[in-house]
Amino acid sequence: MNDPVAYGLAVGQATLATLALVLMTGLGYVRRPHPATLQWMLVFVAGAAGVYLGMYADSAGEESLRRLSLGISLGAGIFIWSGLRSWRGVRSDWAVPVLYVALAASVLAVVPDEWFGLAFAAAYAVSGVFALLSIIELRRIPERADGMLLPLALISGAVTVVAAGNLVHSIIARPRGPEDLGILRVLDSVGAMIYIVCALVTLLWLAVGRGAAASGVPTGLAAFIAGGGDKLARAADRGERAWSVLSIRLDDVDDLRIAAGGSLFWRIVDTVERDVRASIPSEADIAVSSPGHLYVLLMRPPIAIESALDDLRAQVSRLDTSRPLAVQLSVSVGWSSVDVSGYDMEALLRDARAGAARASADGGDRWVRVTEPVA
């Protein structure tokens, strides 16, 4: 590799890709074995393999291996998209690895050099499509409320835009071959390093969870949604009508974080989460979505839920913060039931979130029971 700039970028990308692979494997997949974390680990396996193969191809002057390295890296976004679907409870499709192999091999196909630039742009455009699909999946994940999905969403949006622009440019300008893609490779190396960091931040956060609460309750919603879906399916078979989902969240979280400061804010959050567990029956399923925001799946008659929610509101309003705050402590609760939302877990979560938003908009410190499905 004669170009020192390209060599330096390649070494930096290889180092970053290796570190990301180690972190996602050790902290992600090994700690939380799941179809989603397995696929996210494969993202960084593909990234590292593509970088090292590209470095070898450049030093050996092997153009076919250089093309293959591009394909290996371009296809990695498919596993991000598929992993996000698995994370929210959608079963992985056998076609995903087939799509990856097809995309990785597409730039290796023997074509005249004058068509290589357009072939590469087309493969890049396909990866842009999966980046766009990843953004759609990120919008469907309940954990988006904490803002940690933003890095991956932003970089996926950038990939989508660049892929579309590169395809249009290639159709118009028609680069003849690999030698015309030098500047694109430099930009791609820089973009790849940014992509690795953004993807690692979001995916590792999803895999590991917030981990700040003293309770140690796992914050990822994948198991909550999957387990709740199984329970609701059995409840539907038996005709059980007393199942509900609650969306419980602290009012004015952003203002409270500023008023209380870091350590006190987290003590308040932990105390509220403990109060929720104390107010809710022990057999209920509870998951933490973001600081001060919890979901609860339980089977109880409405009068028992109303009593539990009234007790919870009273406990939160009396919480001793050790010093006066400019923000009144209170919670807003959205309540959806199978009588209205059906036995679909995602529909129940969506309606419960809408009820909590309505309660908060009405001044907070109240609960709202959803009486019709949210469109």
pLDDT for the residue numbered 157: 92
Please, are residues 213 and 269 in contact by the beta-carbon 8 Å criterion?
A: yes
pLDDT for the residue numbered 129: 92
- CA torsion 336→337→338→341, rounded to 10°? -30
pLDDT for the residue numbered 192: 81
pLDDT for the residue numbered 335: 96
Interatomic CA distance for residues 151 and 194, integer angstroms: 10
pTM (whole model) above 0.75: no
Mean pLDDT by 10 residues, the chain (375 residues): 66 87 88 82 90 83 78 86 79 76 71 69 87 89 68 92 84 59 62 88 79 38 82 92 94 79 74 85 84 90 92 84 71 94 92 93 91 81
pLDDT for the residue numbered 90: 67
Query: Nearest CA to 215 among 274, 137, 175, 133?
Result: 274
Interatomic CA distance for residues 41 and 144, integer angstroms: 21
Query: Nearest CA to 343 among 242, 248, 219?
Result: 242
183-204 pLDDT tens trace: 556 666 677 888 899 999 999 8
